[in-house]
Chain A
Amino acid sequence: MSTFILTESKLEPAKAAYDFTLPAGDGWMHEIKRGQTFRIVDLDGNQAVDTLFYNAHEMSDRYSAQDTIREQGSIYLTAGTRLISSEGNVLATLVADTCGRHDTLGGACAAESNQVRYALDKRWMHSCRDTFMLAITRWGRGVTKCDITHNINFFMNVPVTAEGRLSFADGVSAGGSYVELRAEMDLICLISNCPQLNNPCNAYNPTPVRLLIWD
């Protein structure tokens, strides 16, 4: 039986330096300075927030899902998890988590993987990778598709069984759940607020999330 340990934060939204609500299907690319605290709130519950982090001064030093889960010895992310980069650096630490479990195995949905997973004629449907592509194109600064790597899915539940099966299970995130990270270096964060309608990762109902930053 798995256990979820919930960790709350004392930070007050009214005192945040930045407060933005990101609709489902939209992207967000933003700097977070070292020492700042970043919170993502799953306003309505069971949303999937596809998230990548980069060293703001060296984009090739970026979030690595495999390094992160291996260094902590567990496939799930929760309070205490240190997000490890491809160069072995600590990007951020999860300091609060009222959901209790986040996925980093499932990756982002894409138009092309939707064709594989569901049907060849699903290519037109909106997807996280398309959101990422538009966000990085607007951001510019030499960021390209090769910088879109294996992301975190905050609030998503992707259990692995002893037999090595992987499934997209029903959500575990109640409305108002949040996860909070402390930036351990100057970061760039890239988010797609997942628009997927083909599986229960959003409970078939993509909803907005609130993004807060405290100095």
Chain B
Amino acid sequence: MTTEKILFEESLPGGGLWSWRIPRHTTLRLTDLEGGANVGLMAYNTDQPLDRLNLPDTLKAQHTAMLKRGNVLMSDMGHALFSITADPCGWHDPLGGHGNAALVRKKYGGATYQEKRNDWFRNAHDNFLIELGKHGLGKRDLVANVNFFSRLDVDAEGKMKFHTGNSKAGDFVDLRAEMNVLAVLNTCQHPLDPNPKYAPKPVKLTLRQTPPPGADDFCRNFRGENQRSFILTERLFLGA
């Protein structure tokens, strides 16, 4: 990381919301500052937002129900949006989705902006809609989201259980954009987080310039499916 230029850095408190058009071949690092953070993320091709994150396609192409280094977040058009190029945490949840105002009210009670100012209780659904709206997107553009730093365990009956302690303070995940990617994220608690208190954790967001993936790139070669997804993505930029 020391040899790569940091383009900018921001901190995002728990319950926060953010979106940015991540340029191709830059890398967004999410850092869990205190441990136990959750970052809900949706992603779109900036140049054609109908080309968007599709978790079923992502999971079935890579035969996985979790995400870690080597995995690629794929769009519904077969393209690679983000590659997970570094990941000391090792398990990120693609199953649990995100909570809404009703869930937050039921779990934590209410805390309006009128009462609490910026310590109010925010919810992921509204946060996604706010940030999507800034890019001309709305309810119909919501997709199944990833929850970085969170883990659900699934048993033989299909039952899901939140895995406490998945992410430690200082854990991070690097997301290299393989095209220009609109990333929409927030730091609300995972909807299955058993903590009875509203206590979302802060993260640091770091964008840095990184080299394009070479022929020997780990994520490109993680599976044959990833190789083909890279080829289809690189075709978008041919002849320009």
**Which A residues have a C-beta under 8 Å from some C-beta of B?**
1-3, 59-61, 64-67, 69-70, 73-76, 86-88, 101, 105-108, 110, 112-113, 115-117, 119-120, 129, 144-150, 158, 160-162, 164-168
A116, B97: Cβ atoms closer than 8 Å: no
The CA-CA distance from A1 to B157 in the complex, in Å, is 7
Closest chain A residue, CB of each to CB of B96: A70
A147, B140: Cβ atoms closer than 8 Å: yes
Closest chain A residue, CB of each to CB of B142: A86
Q: Interface residues of B toward A: which range?
A: 35 or more
Closest chain A residue, CB of each to CB of B235: A120
Contact of A160 among B65, B79, B91 (CB under 8 A): B65
In the complex, B16 has a CB within 8 A of chain A: no
B78, A113: Cβ atoms closer than 8 Å: yes
A66, B97: Cβ atoms closer than 8 Å: yes
In the complex, B110 has a CB within 8 A of chain A: no
Closest chain A residue, CB of each to CB of B93: A164
| Nearest CB on A from B171, distance (A) | 17
Given A60-B139, A160-B158; 7 other pairs, CB 8 A cutoff: A59-B140, A74-B159, A75-B158, A75-B160, A107-B57, A113-B60, A162-B155
Contact residues in B for A146 (Cβ distance below 8 Å): 50, 52, 140-141
| Nearest CB on B from A118, distance (A) | 9
Contact residues in A for B9 (Cβ distance below 8 Å): none
A73, B232: Cβ atoms closer than 8 Å: no
Closest chain A residue, CB of each to CB of B57: A113
In the complex, B169 has a CB within 8 A of chain A: no
**Which B residues have a C-beta under 8 Å from some C-beta of A?**
50, 52, 54-57, 59-61, 63-66, 74, 76-79, 91, 95-98, 100, 102-103, 138-145, 153-160, 191-192, 225, 228-229, 231-232
| Nearest CB on B from A42, distance (A) | 20
A60, B157: Cβ atoms closer than 8 Å: no
Closest chain B residue, CB of each to CB of A101: B158
| Interface hub of B56, B57, B66, B97 (most chain A Cβ within 10 A) | B56
The CA-CA distance from A3 to B159 in the complex, in Å, is 12
The CA-CA distance from A131 to B64 in the complex, in Å, is 26
| Nearest CB on A from B151, distance (A) | 9
The CA-CA distance from A60 to B132 in the complex, in Å, is 14
| Nearest CB on A from B192, distance (A) | 6
A166, B96: Cβ atoms closer than 8 Å: no
B100, A88: Cβ atoms closer than 8 Å: yes
The CA-CA distance from A60 to B192 in the complex, in Å, is 24
A116, B191: Cβ atoms closer than 8 Å: no
A60, B140: Cβ atoms closer than 8 Å: yes
B156, A66: Cβ atoms closer than 8 Å: no
A66, B144: Cβ atoms closer than 8 Å: yes
Contact residues in B for A115 (Cβ distance below 8 Å): 78, 228, 232
| Nearest CB on A from B45, distance (A) | 12
Contact residues in B for A61 (Cβ distance below 8 Å): 139
Q: Can you show 23 pairs from A to B with CB atoms below 8 A apart? A: A2-B156, A60-B139, A64-B144, A66-B97, A67-B97, A70-B97, A70-B191, A73-B159, A73-B160, A74-B160, A86-B139, A107-B56, A112-B79, A112-B232, A115-B78, A115-B232, A116-B225, A116-B232, A146-B50, A160-B158, A161-B154, A162-B156, A167-B63
Closest chain B residue, CB of each to CB of A68: B97
| Nearest CB on A from B68, distance (A) | 9
A105, B225: Cβ atoms closer than 8 Å: no
B158, A2: Cβ atoms closer than 8 Å: yes
The CA-CA distance from A107 to B61 in the complex, in Å, is 11
Contact residues in B for A3 (Cβ distance below 8 Å): 157
Closest chain B residue, CB of each to CB of A65: B144
Closest chain B residue, CB of each to CB of A148: B76
Contact of B55 among A110, A150, A158 (CB under 8 A): A150
